[in-house]
């Protein structure tokens, strides 16, 4: 079986507009993405799971694999996830159809999607689906390499999203920050 890194690179060359990253997330970034997962707080939805770096970090928090739903549109990555993580719910679909997933009350939606490179209409369906699936007050977690929040302003405003942002995670290629968005009255914008 090809290594995860090799598989990722092969798919990056074949589908550059879907993968949109130089390498899989580092362990440090994946740990930060999963840091607030509570193993006893019910289902988690993961978007754009790829070869499973963030999947692994979520499961390392102690969440039973049956409570994790990983959405991925690339069939090769889906096959790898299915083999690597027995018991995991792998959904071969676009995150844009998240609203159709028969699941409610998620404790978090954790996304490795290349959100900022997506058209606004697709971002809107992903975030609208997210809000419908999340328990009220819970987070949409998204990393980004750039200096701006990874959800475009028009979608943030439409959905009333506030956010907080992590320190910069240097040990990643390229360095990244983790944003936590939620629908809430009070915005906490804790940039460094
Ligand atoms: C930047 S890679 C991240 C992979 C992995 N989560 C990580 O952090 O290493 C983006 C992933 O999102 C997937 N993806 C892109 N667009 C998608 C969509 N609309 N729905 C579901 N998955 C998508 C790609 O196939 C790829 O696996």
pLDDT digits (tens, 9 = 90+) for 52-73: 999 999 999 999 999 999 999 9
Higher pLDDT, 16 or 129: 129
The confidence score (pLDDT) of residue 190 equals: 45
pTM, to two decimals: 0.93
Strand partners, 140: 109, 181
Q: Which ligand 1 atom is the nearest neighbour of the CA of 77?
A: 27
Quick one: pLDDT at residue 186?
41
Q: What share of the chain is helix, strand, coil (3-state, %, to 5)?
A: 40, 25, 40
How high is the pLDDT of residue 185?
A: 56
Q: How far is CA 24 from CA 83, 89, 139, in A?
A: 18, 21, 22
- Cis omega (within 30 of 0) for bond into 51: no
pLDDT digits over 99-148, tens only?
999 999 999 999 999 999 999 999 999 999 999 999 999 999 999 999 99
Residue from 9, 90, 112, 125 whose mutation best tests the ligand 1 pocket (most atoms within 8 A of CB):
112
Domains, the chain = 4-183 (3.40.50.150)
Asked if 112 and 143 count as a contact pair (C-beta separation under 8 A), the reply is yes
Q: Which residue has the least CA distance to atom 4 on ligand 1?
A: 50
Q: What is the pLDDT of residue 101?
A: 97
Task: Give the whole-angstrom CA distance, residue 154 versus residue 45.
Answer: 24
Res 191 pLDDT > 60: no
């Amino acid at each position: 079986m090809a290594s995860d890194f090799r598989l990722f690179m092969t798919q990056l060359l074949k589908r550059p507009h879907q993968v949109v990253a130089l390498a899989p997330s580092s362990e440090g970034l994946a740990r930060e993405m999963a840091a607030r997962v509570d193993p006893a707080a019910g289902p988690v939805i993961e978007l754009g799971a790829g070869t499973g770096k963030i999947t692994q970090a979520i499961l390392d928090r102690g969440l039973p694999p049956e409570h994790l739903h990983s959405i991925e549109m690339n069939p090769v990555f889906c096959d790898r996830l299915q083999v690597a993580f027995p018991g995991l719910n792998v959904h071969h679909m676009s995150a844009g159809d998240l609203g159709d997933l028969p699941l409610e009350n998620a404790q978090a939606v954790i996304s490795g999607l290349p959100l900022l490179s997506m058209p606004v209409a697709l971002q809107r369906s992903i975030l609208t689906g997210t809000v419908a699936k999340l328990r009220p007050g819970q987070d949409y977690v998204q990393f980004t390499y750039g200096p701006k929040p990874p959800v475009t302003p028009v979608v943030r405003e439409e959905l009333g999203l506030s956010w907080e942002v992590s320190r910069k995670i240097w040990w990643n290629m390229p360095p990244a920050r983790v944003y936590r968005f939620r629908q809430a009255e009070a915005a906490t914008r804790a940039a460094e």
